Amino acid sequence: MGCTLANLLESEELSARKGGRIVTAAPLAYHKSMAIFSKLLGYLILLGFSAALLAAGPEADTVRENCRKSVSGAYLSVYDRMVRARDYKIFLERELTRHKSALTKSQQTLKTKEKAMKDNEFDTVLAADYDAAKAGFDTLTEKIAEVELLIKQAQEEHDAQKLVVEKMEKKIRKVFNIEKVQKVLIDSGYPIQVVYRGDCSKYRYTCPLSRQEAFDLVKIFDNQPQGEDCKKYASHSGIDF
């Protein structure tokens, strides 16, 4: 087992002629050397492949994760617009309730001022008080009309954004799961996370999607610039774009 390639070459040079035949000095050593050399070569190939895995692994993981973050960011962006429209509508509805309550009080005040003015027809102070009360009542009436219009617009915006969210969710769920979590996530601001449907084994450094999933992944963005990371990841499935 102590034989090396140098010993092998030397054994071939030390061959001697005997009875018209060439007798090799160390045929057994030759075979042992070849066995050692084959094992050594195998180890070197394995080490080289392992190094390639270590070099490519983090990059592939980054491409996969960057794609997930792009999808999550795009989804949370439209989801946020829907939630903002909903919250704005809720805020406006509270404002409407407050204005209507104020209008009821203003109307009662206006009636009182109107009666006092009629009872004292030539009292300019009471007339001025009535005018001020009437102006306040009219302002609140206009304000209520404005808020009601804003509520209608907020509802329309919410409904439109909800359709966008539902359409995007339909695309996303072909490759990802959209999960509700108990705590609000720091990076999104919502208790929602987007994760791949299929787990990626730590021993598969590229972790490619199926061809159908790769096509579905790219369709999420409809060729928008933010989909470049997902195109790159989809290319690991042998698809060119």
Q: Is 203 within the bounds of a domain?
A: no
Same structural domain for residues 158 and 112? Answer: yes
Do residues 85 and 21 both lie within one domain? Answer: no
pTM (2 d.p.): 0.66
Q: Looking at the predicted structure, is the pLDDT value of residue 52 above 50? A: no
In the chain, what percentage of residues exceed pLDDT 90? Answer: 47
10 within domain boundaries: yes
Report residue 81's pLDDT band, with 50, 70 and 90 as the boundaries: very high
Could you write out the DSSP letters of every residue in 146-207?
Answer: HHHHHHHHHHHHHHHHHHHHHHHHHHHTTTEEEEE-SS--TTTSSSEEEEESS---TT-SS-
Residue 41 above 70 pLDDT? Answer: no
Q: Residue 25 has what pLDDT?
A: 42
Residue 176 counted as domain residue: no
For residues 145-164, average pLDDT: 97
Amino acid present at 203: Y
Q: Which residue range is the domain that position 37 belongs to?
A: 1-44
Residue 179 has pLDDT above 50, yes or no: yes
Q: What is the pLDDT of residues 200-211, one digit of tens each?
A: 765 455 688 899
Does 218 fall in a domain?
no
Is residue 79 domain-shared with residue 129, that is, in the same domain? yes
> How many domains are contained in the chain?
2
Query: Does the structure show a pLDDT above 90 at 76?
Result: yes
Who's near 160: CB < 8 A, 6+ residues apart? none
Stated as kind and residue range, the H or E segment containing 16 is strand 16-18
Of 170, 186, 216, the residue at which a domain comes to its end is 170
Mean of per-residue pLDDT scores for the chain: 78
Assign 33 a pLDDT band (cuts: 50, 70, 90). very low
Confidence of residue 22 (pLDDT cuts 50, 70, 90): very low
For 123, phi then psi, to 5°, come to -90, 105
Same domain as 37, residue 86: no
80 & 164 share domain:
yes
**Which percentage of the chain shows pLDDT scores above 70?**
70
Q: CB within 8 A of 177, min separation 6: which ones?
A: 194, 195, 196, 197
CB 6 within 8 A of CB 13: no
